[in-house]
Amino acid sequence: MSDKVVTRFAPSPTGFLHIGGARTALFNWLYAKHTGGTMLLRIEDTDRERSTDAATAAILDGLSWLGLTWDGEPVSQFERAPRHRAVAEELVRMGKAYYCYATPAELEAMRESARAKGLPPRYDGRWRDRDPSEAPAGAKGAIRIKAPADDETVVHDLVQGEVRFPNKDLDDFIILRSDGNPTYMHAVVVDDHDMGITHIIRGDDHLTNAARQMVIYRAMGWDVPSMSHIPLIHGADGAKLSKRHGALGVEAYRAMGYLPEALLNYLARLGWSHGDDEVMSIADMIAWFDIGDVNKGAARFDFAKLEALNGVHMRRMNDAELLDIFINTLPYLEGGPAIAARLDDTRKAQLLAALPGLKERAKTLVELADGAVFLFAERPLPIDEKAAALLGGEARETLRGAHAALKAISGDWTAEAAEAAIREYAVAGGHKLGAVAQPLRAALTGKSTSPGVFDVLAVLGREESLARVADQID
């Protein structure tokens, strides 16, 4: 056997890829990349009532958007049911598991008596040592594994440390139901073994399952993979993550205008750190990530931090790359489709030229789109309320002079040339620069805020700029 690391992400397709699932996938992916290993994807679709194809598609879409690639085809757990059954039957043949014919009424009585004693519900092992010939005629039993009764089961967890489970708490749990379907507990073990998983990295809500799953590994004589149970994400107030806190599907983060790289950076830093480094590229994360450095304590989700980090990533990304991501994200952004519909080559070039100014004022792609709307507006521009206020009173006269000054520019139409012309006009007319620049901005963009007004003039070009200003004078 090679030493190559094989991790897996094993979502249940009962809903979207939520933010906690994305973080689990990220840690599996980073660990695989960091060690030169592979990450596999298994869709845990054994629960036929709750699993849907739409959820599977949404999960794959979410992972792809984030760039969390998996190796090979996704494995369907449901399709492997015959193999799960075969292993359960093999365990019976090996004397490590047995058929149990306890009736629902008997099981209910066992639960009831445990409850009365204040104990957790537990199967009493009544079929464990009985001869198969005692099976009631025609009854289909469930298969239960023989769990160890004494001593303890120890999970050596890379995140949680040594976690001890007294074996007296593990009862002989079912691995194959009487209808022939495997239980989830059993399916996970058989799949992880068959897929050659060396490292299991998953939410710490699965920690107690780990002890039960070890019983199955041991019974089959299989190696137990390395285990890492990562803490769940909580809201900023410490409570379990809810929708209000950001427990949304990752596609909601795409629609809110976050960059995949920034979201991954934020999720990686939730519960893991590398010195004081806050801002990390994907390459940094791969180089620095180690699963053993993940904290045990619950991580807290904080929208404000995510937003600030997203702004940093936008500003440090090169403009061509940011433009690419922006264009690809437009269909998902509020107001994005309208921009996408009008994006020809000229406007793409304008957008690229405006990007340095736009990204200084935007923390998300939604804000970027909002800032870029002026490029795509049709004349006469809709003027918002604040901009209209800037165009009242004396402003129209001032604007008339500014229009003439701009029109008189004889050389190249650049931000510098526009600035020189406007400054000269302001000085000559005894205007403060702002008294000229503000109405100019309002006329050019229909808004009271925008990138630097001279950059706006340069990006829009001579003809369009002069026409927009003229619209507000006449």
Give residues in contact with ligand GLU (CB under 6 A): 10-12, 44, 188, 202, 206
Measured CA distances, 312 to 118, 278, 371, 439 (Å): 54, 10, 17, 31
Shortest CB 306 distance to ligand GLU, Å: 23
| Identity of the residue, 12 or 38, whose beta carbon is nearer to ligand GLU in the bound complex | 12
Beta-carbon contacts of residue 363 (< 8 Å; ≥ 6 apart):
307, 308, 310, 311, 314
Report the number of secondary-structure helices (H) and strands (E) in the chain.
20, 12
**DSSP letters for 15-43:** S--BHHHHHHHHHHHHHHHHHT-EEEEEE
Shortest CB 228 distance to ligand GLU, Å: 11
Which one is catalytic: 4, 243, 386, 432?
A: 243
Q: Which two tokens stand for residue 425?
A: 């006009």
Shortest CB 189 distance to ligand GLU, Å: 9
| Identity of the residue, 251 or 278, whose beta carbon is nearer to ligand GLU in the bound complex | 251
| Identity of the residue, 125 or 196, whose beta carbon is nearer to ligand GLU in the bound complex | 196
| Identity of the residue, 250 or 469, whose beta carbon is nearer to ligand GLU in the bound complex | 250
- 243 marked as part of a ligand binding site: yes
| Identity of the residue, 185 or 343, whose beta carbon is nearer to ligand GLU in the bound complex | 185
DSSP-derived 3-state class of residue 122? coil
Asked if residues 147 and 171 have their Cβ atoms less than 8 Å apart, the reply is yes
Shortest CB 354 distance to ligand GLU, Å: 43
Q: Which residue is nearest to ligand GLU (CB)?
A: 202
> What's the chain's length in residues?
474
Give the pairing of strands 142-145 and 97-100: antiparallel
Measured CA distances, 219 to 80, 144, 399 (Å): 20, 12, 85
Q: How far is CA 114 from the centre of its chain?
A: 42
| Identity of the residue, 22 or 365, whose beta carbon is nearer to ligand GLU in the bound complex | 22
Shortest CB 184 distance to ligand GLU, Å: 8
Q: Residue 143 and residue 85: Cα distance in Å, rounded? A: 10
Residue 223 DSSP symbol: P
DSSP element (H, E) containing 262: helix 260-269
Q: Which two tokens stand for residue 172?
A: 């002989």
Q: Residue 340 and residue 363: Cα distance in Å, rounded? A: 20
Of the candidates 154, 156, 161, 155, which has an alpha carbon nearest to the alpha carbon of residue 295? Answer: 161
Active site residue 243: yes
Shortest CB 302 distance to ligand GLU, Å: 24
Q: Which two tokens stand for residue 221?
A: 């004589």
Residues making up the annotated binding site are: 243
Residues placed in the known binding site for ATP: 243
Active site residues: 243
